Structures are given as structure tokens and as C-alpha cells.
Structure 1
């Protein structure tokens, strides 16, 4: 008989280890009502330790779970069975189908929202230093057409951090079919990077960074690479790379600024796109692209008026979008021609908070919130118009105002024609001349700390995805 290849032996070991960890921790599918996805394969991830672990330690080998299911809606008009899936146009005004309000209260504003990679749940950050996980209501999987009333969502998990949460990220291979892959990472002030179990809310492990004085440092931004094998963390003039399978203090250092050359400032956001490169944004208003193999700087992009707070590559990997704080433009960079900004998308950002945007899986639409409570949608297939002072400007395809406060977070569902928005910001009272009320909250400053889910009506037109 021919000998088995090393690759086959590796896959066999992974299957055996997966079976071992499932039995050891008695993992169950009943903690969270995630939806199973078909066509997953297993790779290496740290799993939570037992309450009374043995003295002997072993490397956990259960990571990468790549979801191979086809995308619904704009990214996949035909399913595997040959049935045509519904199409939708994000420039159609959506219907609000559910949301969460009471869980945040009046003084705990949200700081963005992110759908899980398999779309079964959504994660939010808020000013009370708590990450909340919400299930997608089961009836929304049926693509209903009639709505009775807006449903109030309640979080199924709450993960409390010890300080201000700087950033958080889903494990890219997350699939409810593989409970070991259901996890997310977060970084907060005064703490290492934490990896949380999305089924139980327990802390699985920590990734600890230390500076040249052997003092612990907190990351300001985090991102998993495309395959979920590495965890990239942004610091002051530094990116530190952890192996996801090796929690602790083992990491690779990649300085971004040496001898006043390169990208200076705190690395505020990181994004992965085409194979072999990643992008990093800085509070010094720059965007830089690096090689994933060795962290070698490829080029630096200038053009923002404020510190860069969010980055995202287009699905085809040819364009990079960047947005900044107190910056009225989302910039589009063509990676094939980096001489200038390809075009801008105007939005209202008057504060220093992180303002998210998102791109549809088909690459045809972008959606962003504004500090004036408006949600804006752009059709990226339309040609831009030109202004003498700004250059090429992309015209919005839709904007609507159903929030009463700053919309800081938006996230498009990976498979269904829907998206989520998160709103809220810090409020300040005005001094009053009235002796009975020294501090007065203006009516215009009433808070709207909420998460809302929006359903996009189906469209049968050539403009749909």
C-alpha cells in the first residue's frame, strides 16, 4: 500500500483531536441557538480549559473552520439545488424588524455591531465595557413578508471586560456546526487580548503583549488573518502578531516606524484583503499596506483629515476603503493605481468616535452611519461626479433617518437581505441659570442607545445584486 502523505496524517490528527476535545469538554449545541452551516472543515483553536486541569499541558489543535456555504442574496443568485434565491437592492428603504433598547439603558451607548461570519448572531460593544451577543430571531430565516410589530431582542451572552473596550473581532472561520470555532476576541484598556467562547461566554485564553521594558501593553486594534491562523494587534508604532493556537506571551514584533521612517502613531485599525497583504490605519491620518509574510511596508497613503478608524477591502481585493474620525469622507483607493484617491463618499462625522461602514458581499453597495442619525447607502456601480475642490464624489443612492442619535455601527448580514445598525454617543449636560436645575439635557441631545435590524424588501430589477 502507498504511504499516506503528511497532509493526510495532519488531517487525521485534527479529526482525532476534535473528537477528543468534544468529549473532554462535553460541548453541546444547546447553549446558543446558532444555525449550523454545511461544508465546514476544521482547523486549530484554543478551547477553554477545564476547572481542574492536569499538570501536563498540550497544544490545542482545533482551529480554522472555513464556511463554504454559498452566499444568499446579492452574492449568490442561484443556490446549490438550482433554486433562484431572492435578490435585493440596498438602495431600497428597509423595514425595521426588531431591535434592542432596554439592555443598554440611558447612559450606555453602543459602539458598533458585527454579524458573526455564519450570520447566526450579532455582537455589540457598548460604553459599559460589555460585549453583548444576540441571536438572529428564527422567523427571519424564513424571509417573511408580513411584519406585526418591532420585536425586542435580549442578549443571550454578556462578556464583561475590565476597562474601555478598544476593539473586538469574530474568528473568521466561525460556524455553529463546529462549536470550537465559535469565538471572538477583544482588547480593552489595561488588559491583554481575550478570546471568548461564543457558546458559554467563558474566557478561553489570553494573548499578552509586553514592551521592551517587559511591561504589559494593551492593543488598540485587533484582526484575525483570512485563515484565522494569526491574530494581528495594533500598538504605538508597532504590530504584534500572535499564533492563534499559542496563547500567552509568544508573539512576533513588526515595527511600523523606524528612524522616523514609515507609519507613525497608534495603529487604530487593521484589515485583510488580497492574499499576501494587510492594511493598517493610524491615528496619524495615514493608511499603510504591508506584506503578511514579513511585515514589509509596501506603500503609505495620505489624504485623511483625521485619524483613521476603519478599513475594509472590496470583495475582489482591488480597492481599499478607509474612514477617519472628524473626517467627512470615506476614501476609496485603487490598489492598481495609487497615485490619488479614486473617489470619495461624503458622510457627517463630527466626533472622535469610531464610525463603521460595511460593503455588501457582491461589492455593489456600501452603507455607513452618520453622527446626525442618518444612514447612507451608496451604489458603487454608479459613476461618480466631480467637484473642483474634492475631486470624484460618489452620489448616495439612499439615506434615511430612523434613529434619534449618532449611528456609529453598521453591519450587513452575510447571507440574508438585512443589516444591523447601532446608535448612541456620549452626552454632555448644559449649564443652566435656573437654581433648581443646574444641569439641563437639551431636548435635541436625548439619547438613543439601541441596536436595530433592518430587512431589505426583495427587488426584481436589474439594479439588484
Structure 2
């Protein structure tokens, strides 16, 4: 009993001491602990890039021969007579370009405006199946990854060496195919988007995934469908946003392995998505739709505005926000380049359009340090494909659309 009373007395003395400390602290001014975007823990390096939108962009260099060579783009029994490009990406130092095209080939180009202002094809990698996605590593300028039909996620170096391979294993111990991929900002993990699942792989450990995030359960609901795009939050490296063929965009925590927010939208499946540079807004674009929508992630996915962008067919039309976070660049199905000033608010009176090509612009990539940008042009034209059979020469109706497949670099 004496021990119990001694314990109660000690507790009372501690409470009195804490009360005195609280009274002393209450007389002092409260320090504001809110971190701004300029805090060193979440500092964003903004390069000094000046764009001149008063005139049309200047063509620096174009590359079409490797995409139009009929002998090189034959694969097995199918001849890809229309080898349109699906995506193009600059690496982090702007010296290399990566492209994927309809002939199931990843192409690597070098371009240096200062020393050699020519687009040089330095390597080709046949992937066997349809290429869903291709990305550069954010921390290593020499490593890129891609995912293709019925194949694992592959990481390669610029010299052609296979760096690593990741297999998404399902509950039946069978390999699934990732439809999209992305890297974490520190480059330590690779994230793959599958049907109703997100799988995380360790960068330096090949094989199966480290863990899964279930995005949809039959009785609990969630984000349903095949993932089409994954994006890491540029400020918080533990948050990843993903779009699917369904009616939601989800934001997931890699720490808790769970969904933090579902954003409903009006698109018939989202095909492309980008974060704003401060990580507060999400821009999404749908399949065969006329605009890009902006949602505020701080207000449970409230839709703020729409940015008009013509898209008349089902081809994926990519867009990108420049390194300064001020402008959104997007191609269109009519061959025009649209640039929207994100600093102008919801009115967007400063949206500019430049007609530069007679065919669709499905992909655009901005140079990370200069006022250069690369575009991939071309679109799927039916009939497609032509099989090497006896009926090759049968006349079939075709759309009156010019076939112009290539890669071009422009400058503002």
C-alpha cells in the first residue's frame, strides 16, 4: 500500500511540474511550423528557362527514316506499314531521347544542340510485344525502363546492357503484364500498374514484387480496371497517383499501402496524367475527349477547370508541364501544339495554339534545361495491319489522312 501511495505522489508531482512548464511556455509567442514550398526538405529546383511564344517554334532537327523504312519495320508475318510513334521522352540531362513505336521497337537517340545538333539513332531494342509504357530513371541518366505485352518490366542501360528485370506475380503464381510504370523520385523503387493492383519492386533486386497494393475488392469497391498511367507526387515521394480505364483516379500511400483519395471524373477512361510542380493539382486527359481537367487534391478532388484540347480519336495524347511549372504543353489530333499558361488562373486567356504538322501529335517531351521540346507525330490509319498473305493487294477503303511518322525537335 505504501508503494502504491508513493506512486500516486510521484504522479501528482509530475503533473504539477508539467503545469508550471506549460504556463511558462504559454507566455512565449507560438512559432509557425508550417513548411513552405521553399523549405529545404521539399525544395524544388526550378531551372531558368525562357520561352518566346511570340512566333512559331523553330524546327531544329527531324528524324523520320528509321520509322519509315519498310524493310526494318517488318516483324514476323505482319508488316507495319504505318509505324506511328506512341511516346517520346527526354532523359534528365537532355542528351538522350527515348521513343516507342507501333513496330514494337524501343529506339534510343542522342542529341546535343551545342556539340552535334543532329538526332542520331544509337540503339534499337525489339520488345516482341506491344509496348505499353517507357520511362527514364529520375536519378540515373543512363537507365530507362519499359513494359510490353506478355513480358516483364525491363530496365536497360544506354549501352544496351540489361540492368534488371521485374515480374509481377499474381495469386496464381503466374506473371502479369504491367500496363504502365514509374520510378520513385529517389530511384530506389519501380512501380507497376496492373489490373486492380499496383506492385512495387526494389530497384536493385530482380524478380517478383516487394509488395502489392490492392486497388479494388469485390465487396469493398475501390479503383477498378487496368492502370493506364502512374505519377509520383513531386513533393511527397510516398504518394503515387494512378489512372485506370475506370471512372476514378486514385492517390495511394506507399507507406501505408492503401488508398488515400479517389477522384471521380467524367472521362471514358483516363489515358494520361500529370502532377503540378507543387504536388497540389492533378491534370488528367481522357480517351477521345476534347479537354484536360485540373483537380485540386487538397479539397477531396474538387474539379477546378477544363483546358480545351481537341482529341477526336482513341489515340493517347500526352501532355507535359514545363520544368518551371508555368506552362502546359499538349499536342492535338489536328497537328497543332497548344500551350496554356497555368499562372493565369481559371480564365486561361493566354492559351496559344501553333499549327506545325498535318498529322496527329500524340507525344511531347520538354528539354529539362533549355527551351527545346521534342514531339512524336503520326497516327493509326486503317486498314491496319497488312498481313503477308495472298490478299495483300486487295483494295480496301482508307481514310484520307497523310502518313507522316517521325520525331522532331523544336525551339521557342
Matched, 1:292 2:267: no
What's the CA shift for 1:452? 0.8
Residue 88 (structure 1) shift: 2.4
The answer to whether structure 1 residue 271 and structure 2 residue 231 are counterparts is yes
CA 91–224 in structure 1, closer or farther in 2 if over 3 Å, else same: farther
Please, which of 389, 392, 396 is the counterpart of residue 439 of structure 1?
A: 396
- Equivalence for 2:320: 358
451 and 353 in structure 1: CA distance in 2 versus 1, 3 angstrom threshold: same
Aligned residues: 347
Distance 1:441 1:153, change over 3 A: farther
The alignment status of 1:419 with 2:373, answered yes or no, reads yes
User: Aligned pair 1:112/2:68, yes or no?
Assistant: no
Is the contact between residue 47 and residue 323 of structure 2 (CA under 8 Å) also seen in structure 1?
no
Match of 2:364 among 410, 426, 429: 410
2:106 maps to 1:131: yes
Structure with a larger share of its residues in strand: 2
Distance 1:429 1:336 in 2: 46
Q: What displacement does 1:245 show?
A: 0.8
Deviation of 1:185 after TM superposition, in Å, equals 0.6
Distance 1:316 1:70, change over 3 A: closer
Residue 204 (structure 1) shift: 2.2
**8 Å contact 1:91–1:378 — kept in the other structure?**
no
TM-score, structure 2 normalization: 0.79
**1:191 matched residue in structure 2:** 151
Give deviations 1:271-311, integer Å, cap 9, x for gaps. 01131311010111311111121221111111232211112
Distance 2:92 2:332 in 1: 25
**Aligned partner (choices 157, 179, 186) of residue 220 of structure 1:** 179
Label 1:271 to 1:348 Cα distance change in 2 as closer, same or farther (>3 A): same
Structure 1 residue 397: deviation in Å?
2.3
Matched position secondary structure for 1:404: coil
Q: 1:257 pairs with 211, 216, 234, which one?
A: 216
Residue-by-residue CA offset, 1:68-110 (whole Å, 9 max, x unaligned): 9965433xxxxxxxxxxxx324565210110111110152100
Alpha-carbon distance in structure 2 between the residues aligned to 1:283 and 1:187: 18
Q: Does 1:231 align with 2:185?
A: no
Q: CA deviation at 1:205?
A: 2.2
Judged with a 3 Å threshold, the aligned counterparts in structure 2 of structure 1 residues 401 and 374 are, in CA distance, closer, same or farther, namely same
Larger Rg computed on CA atoms: 2
Displacement after TM superposition at 1:210 (Å)? 1.4
Q: How does 1:262-411 map to 2 (within 5 A)?
A: 262-273=222-233, 274-275=235-236, 276-338=238-300, 340-385=302-347, 394-395=348-349, 397-411=351-365
Name the CA shift for 1:89/1:294 in 2 (closer, same or farther; >3 Å): farther
CA distance in 1, matches of 2:359, 2:152: 32
Native 8 Å contact 1:207 1:248 kept in 2: yes
Shift of 1:134: 1.1
Q: Secondary structure at the match of 1:103?
A: helix
1:251 deviates by 2.5
Structure 2 alignment gaps of length 5 or more: 1-42, 69-80, 385-392
Pairing partner for 2:408 from 418, 428, 452: 452
Give, in angstroms, the shift of residue 340 of structure 1.
2.5
1:54 is matched with which residue?
none
TM-score, normalization by structure 1:
0.71
Secondary structure at the aligned position of 1:331 is classed as strand
Q: Which runs of 5+ in 1 are unaligned?
A: 1-67, 75-86, 142-150, 176-181, 386-393, 431-435, 457-465
- Relative to structure 1, the CA distance from residue 400 to residue 294 in structure 2 (aligned partners, 3 Å threshold; closer, same or farther) is same
Q: 8 Å contact 1:118–1:174 — kept in the other structure?
A: no
